[in-house]
Structure formats: structure tokens, C-alpha cells
Amino acid sequence: MVAVGVSVPWGLWGLPPDEQRRLLGRIADAGIDHVFTADHVSFRDGSGMDGLVTLAAVGGLEPRLDLQVGVYLLALRHPMVAARQIATLAEAAPGRLTVGVGVGGDDRHEVEVCDVDPATRGRRTDVALEMVRALLEGRTVDGDGEFFRFRDGRIQPVPDPPVPLVVGGRSDAALERAGRLGDGWLAAWCSPRRFGEAVERVEAAGAGRDVRWRHGLQLWLGAGSSRAEASRHVAATMERFYRMSFEPFERYTPCGRAADIAEFLQPYVDAGATTLNLTPCGPDRDTEIETVAEVKRLLETASRPN
């Protein structure tokens, strides 16, 4: 069964606390499985949010929703600190947390202001991810010497149940990383064919590991009474966010009614997607929530045996 989630709603933290709870409660009442958030230290003009801190706040407001970060910029953090934060959040919300890890790539300056050489992001992520996984399993870890210098690092208590660590990214290195070190792959901006091929590569890279694979897709969508109307909503939002034309994103962004969107997503589910992280853009919050909830119902119906 595919798990369907929505991004943390725009403007959530500008609402009074009671309204924050009501909004997240509406998402849970609709049958949506989880909320997810991005993670940025200082993106483009300095904007951002700490993914784990955001999920800690959301998790306390609505205990029925699972929590995902996609993707956490692990290369910008020390692995001991990251592991402690993940373990603490997992203790507060046991069984609800999934952490997606990526190297980032949209803004080199964000990496530089964290005193990290952008050219080392991939290697640094590999090292840190291996350490974080070991720490979360209760093992004692030593620094590698190139990026981190410490001995006998350990954290207690370890998460129970374990926290799934999935890896985002489109490069060959990211797919290899997902297979060797992750519990799955988190995709964006790819076709169903590319998604299926990448899933096969990830699982081949992880051959011999005892993994319950969790492969996900993260995308925006336009919700509305017609594809044209829905496209206008999502195009305006994405152009403001990315500061570029919607045109390159259009073929990866489903628009219209729930049935249109479910039809777009079904080939990804058929290719192995077990998680869908959706950022809906529509005329109002009710339309966005109701559309995602109906998409989930349609996908569930399609997956049932005849």
C-alpha cells in the first residue's frame, strides 16, 4: 500500500496555536498518512527551515500524522549532533519518523556559509550517513579523519523501532548511496520509466543487505476543477519559489482533479513507489487537502485485487 503525505502547510506557523492544531487535524481526519518538510539552513535569500525541528513541532500538534523530512542536508551537520536529534525526535514520536538525506544542489552558497566545501558534499554525506546509521543502531563510532575527528562516539537510547533513512538525489552517486547506505530512494523530477530503472539500480547496489525497501517520489501538484485552472495555481507558486519559469517542471507536475492526478501517479506506484510526498497548490486549503485525500483513495482502490 502506498503512503501519501502532504508538505507542511504554507503559513502554518503564522496561525494561532489552536488553528495550527485544527489544520493538521483536518489533514489527519482526511486519511492522509504523513506530513513532510524540506530542510534548508540559508536558501537563496536566507530563507529556510530546520527539517527536524519543524517535524518536532508538527508531531507535538497532531500525533496521528507520521513525519518525514525530504531531504535533510546531512553534509551541513556533524553526524553526532544529527544522530542525537533524530534519536530524540524518534523517542518523542516512536515509529512515526522517516529521514530523507540528500546533498543539496540548488544553492552552493548555502553550503559555503556552513563552512563546507561544496565539492566535498557527496563524500561528506557518505561518511556522515554511515556514522549516523551506526549511531542509531547503538554502535560506537570513531571519526573518519578527513571530515570528523573524534573517538568513541555513542548515543543512547537508540530509536525503537528504527528510523528509516532514505536517500534523495538523481545522480549515479546518489543511487549507489541509496543502495549501500539507505533504506530506499527518494526521487524528484523524473519519469516513471526513469523511476523504475533507478529503483532497480538502487536495489542492485544494496544486494545482500537485509532491507525493507522504501522508495518514494516527491512532487508538486495543481488542484482545481480543470487542468488549466490547477496549472495556474501551481505554476504561480513554483515560479515564486524557484524564481524561474514553470515550463521545465510542467511535465513532472500533475494538474487537475484528483482522478487526473491519480492517473499521473499510478505508473510510479507500478514502478515501485511506496511513498508519495505531495505539495498541493489550489484555490484554498480545503481543495488541496480534499484532492490529496481523494488521490490516496483512488490509488488504494487501484491496488486492490479484482
Confidence of residue 242 (pLDDT cuts 50, 70, 90): confident
Distance of CA 257 to the CA centre of its chain: 24
Q: What is the pLDDT of residues 136-162, one digit of tens each?
A: 999 999 998 899 999 999 999 999 999
The closest alpha carbon to 9, from 62, 71, 45, belongs to: 62
CATH 3.20.20.30 residue ranges in the chain?
A: 37-163
What number is the average pLDDT over the span 159-186? 97
Contact 220, 279 (CB under 8 A): yes
- The packing angle between helices 17-29 and 285-303, to 10°, is 30
Residue 241: the pLDDT is 87
For residue 177, pLDDT over 80 is answered with: yes
For residue 106, pLDDT over 80 is answered with: no
Contact 275, 217 (CB under 8 A): yes
Cell of 122: 557527496
For residue 46, pLDDT over 70 is answered with: yes
The closest alpha carbon to 81, from 153, 144, 147, belongs to: 153
Distances 23 to 12, 186, 241, 285 between C-alpha atoms, Å: 8, 26, 23, 9
For residue 248, pLDDT over 90 is answered with: yes
Contact 253, 203 (CB under 8 A): no
DSSP 283: S
Q: What is the pLDDT of residues 256-277, one digit of tens each?
A: 999 999 999 999 999 999 999 9
Residue 306: the pLDDT is 66
| Bridge partners (DSSP) listed for residue 168 | 186
Cell of 42: 540559508
For residue 140, the tally of other CB atoms under 10 A from its CB is 11
Rounded to 10 degrees, the C-alpha dihedral 27/163/200/36 comes to 30
37-163 architecture in CATH?
Answer: Alpha-Beta Barrel (3.20)
Contact 235, 272 (CB under 8 A): no
How many helices (DSSP H) and strands (DSSP E) are in the chain? 10, 11
What number is the average pLDDT over the span 98-112? 92
Residue 223: the pLDDT is 98
